[in-house]
Each structure stands twice: as structure tokens, then as C-alpha cells.
Homo-oligomer: A and B are copies of this chain.
Amino acid sequence: MVRQVTKDYIAKVCAVDPATVSLALNNHPRVAASTRLRIQAEARRLGYVPNQAARRLARGRFTRNARAIERVGAVLFDCHIPLRGAYMTLLSGVEQESSDRGGMLVFLRETRDNPGRRLFELGRSGAVDGLVLFGAVDDAAVRQAQTTGLPFVVLGDYVSAIPVHHATVDYPAMGQLAVRHLWDLGHRRIGFLGASMRFGYQREIRDGVKAELRRLGLAVDTEWFQTREGLPILDLTTPVRRLLARRVRPTALVLGESNEATDQLSVLSQAGVKAPDDISLVFCESSDAGPPVPGSTYVDVSMSAVGVAAVALLRQVAAEPDGPSRRVLVTPHLVEGGSSKHKKE
């Protein structure tokens, strides 16, 4: 075990009181600049790292209420579906923003077997200063978070009527950007391929597409809007087939769920429809995994940026606990690849 470098030790070396060391290292203005610099230099030289446990314990004595967000508890509400890579990216964003400010991240999973227990214990144990909730967040989850008394923010999709602070992707903008790109390339017959529509983000992307089409004065042809809603769960291809069966086909498509892109493309290719020559394609992607299909044009958004935004929001919420519900939206952007091109005349 490495010998712990304590504030007392630094105090001895610098010939000052331990209290002064504490104030100096926390950049308290009451310490003379020269003293502060001397102490900070010595601390750096010795590789001093404050003892987290002692710090938290000592602070608890005074600031009974709102304190700075140093340790963030990231709580994943389990969803009984495979854990997606996007969660990992969200989490790494939360971690980044916590660590960069000298804090750290505690990761916790709430299970359905014993709902609320871990969250309750986390709240009482004093181990974290605030919470970020993600996964299958619903009314029960929000209420559990409320009982901890800690400030919290919901990250990404959730289903709850209770107003909360919320950081997520600007999903409507994804649909909007995709349509706008195709419009700029000269396309006027633009369709949409969606997935199950069971998740909020899927519906938001779709609504963004519709809204932008209307804004541009284009027909929102329901025949060109195909989703898997109402279809068997494993049927990934019928929407594409239906779309191809239309008398007049769209010249361009927005694909709302990049996870299903490969299957959709294989139906297109089997039907002899090639991108971008026969049809322009824009994918919507939100997993930081690069192009959903090599070389494709897609609307991208950084999930880790959403994690960063959530922690930043959490700090605001902690500083002003009684403010109104806040919402932060991370803006997507278009990445041009080879799957879209100007409409042939």
C-alpha cells in the first residue's frame, strides 16, 4: 500500500496550518496568493490527492442542502432488452463530464425484482451528490428518484407524465435535417421508413420528417410513410416491400432506424433498386458508431455529448433546485456519404 500523502503532511512541509492547506488547495480567496501557490506546488510535487471519504464526511457537517455536484450517480433502469451500445456511449459522456471536473461516476442498475431499493440506499449512503437516470425511466422511476431528495436529470428517452429535468437528442431535428438535405439535392418525392414506433425517439424523428415536408410545401404521402407498426415483431422487411409496391415510388428515403438498415438495404437490392442511382438514402444514426452502412449519408448525433449535457444540466439544477423543469437538446448534424445524390432530371 502506498503511503498516503495527507494535508497534514503538506502542512508540515510548508510550515503552515492544515486548515490553510485545505483552503489553499480549494482556491479559497482568503489565502494569500503567494502562500497558495507555494502550497499548491508542494502538493503537486508530492502527488497529493485528497481523500474523498474524508472530504465528503467533513462537508456533510455544514452544507446540509444544495452542494456542488462532485459525484454523479448514473442509474440505469433495466429494460429486459439487450443493453445497447448507445447506453455505453451515454455513460461514457456522463463519466467524462464528471471526471473532467474532478468528480467521479457511480454506476448503478435498478432491477425490477426490488424496485427502488438500490436507489434508496444510494440516496441515504451519501455517496453521490446528484443522479442521472436512463434506460426504462417511467413514473415509478421518477418517484423513486424524488424520494432520495437528490437533484436528478433524466437522460434520453423516458415515459412519464411527471415533469423532470431532461437532456436528450433533438430527434425532430434529425428528421428535419435529413429531409432538408434531400430537398437541397432536388428531391421532391421523399419517403420514410420507420421501425416499430414503440419508442419515443422513433416517433419524434418521424414527426420531424413530416413537419419539414410540410414546411417545404411537399405532400406528406402516407403511402411513402412505412413503419413496422402493427406488423409481427421480427418482420423487418414488409415496410420496404410495401413502399416498393407503390405505383409512384419516392426518389429519396429517410431511414429512421439504422439498426435495421442492413435488412432494408437487402430488400432494396433484391428488388434491383440501387442507392444512390435509383434512390437516395439518408440514415438516422445515434450510437457514435460511425456510418450505419459503409459510405452512407446519415444524420449523426453524439450520444456522449448528451451525457455531457446531462451532467452540466445537473449542476444547474443543483444550484437552483426550485427552478422550472429544464430541457437540453443536443443538435444532430449531417454527414455526407455516397448514399444520396442529386436527383436525375
Contact = CB atoms under 8 A, between A and B. Distances in A.
Nearest to A105: B107
A89 B83 contact: yes
Most interface-central of A4, A65, A295 (chain B CB within 10 A): A4
Nearest to A117: B99
* Copies assembled: 2
A204 interface: no
Contact of A127 (B84, B104, B148): B104
A115 interface: no
Interface stretch (A22-30, A90-98, A244-252): A90-98
Interface in A107-165: 107-109, 118, 120-127, 148-149
B122 A82 contact: no
Interface stretch (A177-185, A284-292, A337-345): A284-292
A104 B47 CA distance: 26
A338 B200 CA distance: 33
A35 interface: no
Given A104-B108, A288-B83, A294-B234, A47 B124 contact: yes
Given A92-B83, A106-B106, A60 B53 contact: yes
A51 B88 contact: no
Contacts of A39: none
A108 B107 CA distance: 10
Interface residues of A, number: 60
A107 B109 contact: no
Nearest to A104: B106
A262 B263 CA distance: 8
Contact of A49 (B60, B87, B121, B294): B121
B83 A95 contact: no
Contacts of A106: 104-107
A188 interface: no
Interface in A45-97: 47-57, 60, 64-65, 74, 76, 82-85, 87-89, 91-92, 95-96
Nearest to A125: B52
A5 interface: yes
A88 B95 contact: no
A144 to B, nearest CB: 13
Given A54-B53, A57-B54, A87-B88, A2 B109 contact: no
B85 A52 contact: no
A116 B56 CA distance: 24
A273 B124 CA distance: 60
A15 interface: no
Contacts of A54: 53, 57
Nearest 7 A/B pairs, CB to CB: A49-B124, A82-B289, A53-B56, A85-B85, A83-B88, A88-B88, A53-B57
Given A84-B88, A92-B109, A106-B107, 11 more contacts: A4-B60, A48-B124, A49-B121, A53-B55, A53-B57, A53-B126, A74-B107, A82-B289, A83-B288, A91-B107, A96-B109
